[in-house]
Copies of this chain bind each other. A is one copy, B any other.
Amino acid sequence: MGQQYEQLDEETLFIVSQTFKALSDPTRIRILHLLSSGEFSVTEIANRLSLLQSTVSHQLRFLKNLRLVKYRREGTTLYYSHDDEHVLHILEQTIRHARDH
């Protein structure tokens, strides 16, 4: 096996580092992990994870900029859900790996 080494161009490097940066913060991990099980409003997320509404909102913006989450509106409520299967897969995979010590 062993894939071949190929120089990383600036753009790829940027995308990859941004992707992992999104997954490097405990709060964002918790939010994404929660969203892996369904759709939740900002308030619901804050309540379930014992976080301030502002904190959740800021982090959701971060995740939305990277297109890792999306939302739909229902009245004044915004329901957030995940929007990147690949990244979610990597997260869940790593969580399982971490749990096995």
Contacts and interface: CB of A to CB of B under 8 A. Distances in A.
A16 B95 contact: yes
Contact of A12 (B15, B21, B90, B99): B99
B12 A95 contact: yes
Interface stretch (A32-40, A55-63, A73-81): A32-40
Copies in the complex: 2
Given A5-B36, A8-B95, A25 B29 contact: no
Contacts of A90: 90, 93-94
Contacts of A94: 16, 19-20, 90
B33 A8 contact: yes
Nearest to A12: B98
Contacts of A98: 12, 15-16, 19
